[in-house]
Amino acid sequence: MSKLIKTRFAPSPTGFMHVGNFRTALYAYLFAKHNQGKFILRIEDTDQNREVADAEQAIFRVLKWAGLEHDEGPDIGGPCGPYRQSDRLEIYQKYSQKLIETGQAYYCFCDQDRLEQLRKKQQTQGLPTKYDRHCLNLSNQEINQKIKSGQKYVIRQKINSSGVTVFKDLVLGTIKIENSTLDDSVLIKSDGWPTYNFANVIDDHLMKITHITRGNEYITSTPKYIQLYQAFGWPVPEHAHFPLILNQDKSKLSKRQGDVAMEDYINKGYLPETMINFIALLGWNPGNDQEIFSLEELIKIFDLSKVNKSGAVFDIEKLNWMNSHYIKQKNLDELTELCLPYLKKNYPSQTASCQPKFVKLIVDLEQERIKTLSEIGDRVSYFFKTPIYSPEKLIWKKSNRQTTINRLQFVLEFIQLIPSQNWTRNTLEQSLLEQIKQKNLDNGTTLWPLRVALSGQEKSPTPFEIAEILGKKETIERIKQSIKKLQSK
């Protein structure tokens, strides 16, 4: 019987969920589900000083929004809990003592002043900055005396500094790192809490994680983790390290050049299916030209061996194109529900009093045009309040004020004759264009001021589409007001 595949996503609640963190979660999820395995969520909250309020709940919100359901975790439990590291402190103490007993770890009583002086001296001499094992050979008597006197201490890993650590990475291939470059890292801090370097190894083993997926910034630390597995006599999980996500200029993705937090994209109205599809392709290639994938399709074909070794550029234009694609695929009822929060945010009193059909017509009009859900709030203000614009804006290119007044008067007189039951965009367009042709007028000097009168904008849907939604009464009123504006100057 084949071994059950288990992956984990183990974020720290120290801030927003970065796009790179989300990609790590997504790849771990896809790999587990592709292999009929389990996807575990673990909260690594050992850095209490940097913990941010609501950050843990934000992690849950983003994963739920994306549909990446975990099989075990702090909120649902499981056979390997607890799944929050702050609830596992006794476990880490127990295993650190085992390492001390076998000589694989030791007490260190060096204070910050000594460590800082050591660092500066090594830098001055051009040496690598790492611990000098000053406390490695303390006798049990010395250790007990220092502890009894209340001296603070940490527990350090005793690294095997000879030879080379070799491991096969599922993305990058064979990796070799000289053990002489490794430092005796702290495993247990002076406050009794574990470091990430220690806790993640203990938890991955006890939670039976078979495949560890993470960013390639952890490659140089992997030999330390492997030595910990070996010190306990535990099997070493498979590793897969993912390349960086880059800005357009090939620098590391950072907030200086755009949004990097998943919640920023959620708040702007990028759809979950868009973000899953787009981020899956940031470093992974299916081997063909297909660009649109559902989550189910990704699960079916995802393969870690097809993750690229080089960094992936975050192309915002491609993201917008993809989100526009998914918006166009939505049925109108669902899209209206998705857009409604953005309309309510921009026009709270107006949306509270308008008819659902009115909102639905607006969303229908914008469905082919918007790239994000939030765009609709800025684009359709003229449906909820009378537009504000200068009279000069009504005048088409080489036209003039009097000609514009005449054209609007012509439109006003004609559309007043159209029965309310025939008030549709198609009827308005066909009948008005026919009248323009019969009167030997041109479209620009007639339709431009009509568009501005109804929307206040130079770029908008056609005046016929806008008029249909505004209705006959409001359309006539706005044309009258535009004529008054021109006449008052």
What is the phi/psi pair of residue 293, to 5°?
-135, 135
Domain assignment of residue 260, yes or no: yes
Q: Look at residues 329, 345, 360 and tell me which one is the last residue of a structural domain.
A: 329
Catalytic residue among 255, 306, 385, 437: 255
Distance CA 96, CA 197 (A): 12
Same domain, 70 and 117: no
- What's the pLDDT at 200? 96
What stretch of H or E contains 242? Answer: strand 238-242
Q: Tokens 């469905």 belong to which residue?
A: 367
* 36 to 30, 33, 62, 240: CA distances (angstroms): 10, 5, 23, 18
Report yes or no: 452 and 411 within 8 Å, Cβ to Cβ: no
Domain ranges, residue 339: 331-384
List helix spans (H) across 370-471: 375-379, 381-384, 401-415, 425-438, 443-455, 463-470
Residue 255 has pLDDT above 80, yes or no: no
**CATH assignment of the domain containing 412:** 1.10.10.350
- What's the pLDDT at 1? 40
What would the pLDDT profile of 1-32 be if each residue is shown by its tens digit? 468 999 999 999 998 999 999 999 999 999 99
What would the pLDDT profile of 420-457 be if each residue is shown by its tens digit? 999 999 999 999 999 999 999 999 999 999 999 999 99
Same domain, 192 and 113: yes
Report yes or no: 67 and 272 within 8 Å, Cβ to Cβ: yes
> For the chain, what is the total number of helices (H) and then of strands (E)?
21, 11
Report yes or no: 214 and 23 within 8 Å, Cβ to Cβ: no
Same domain, 137 and 150: yes
Mean pLDDT, the chain, rounded, equals 95
Domain assignment of residue 83, yes or no: no
Distance CA 37, CA 35 (A): 5
- What's the pLDDT at 398? 85
Cα dihedral sign for 100, 103, 109, 111? negative
Does 255 participate in catalysis according to the annotation? yes
List helix spans (H) across 210-347: 222-232, 262-268, 272-280, 295-301, 316-329, 332-346
- What's the pLDDT at 39? 98
Same domain, 94 and 217: yes
Domain assignment of residue 219, yes or no: yes
In the chain, how many domains are there? 4
Domain assignment of residue 81, yes or no: no
- Three-class SS of residue 261? strand
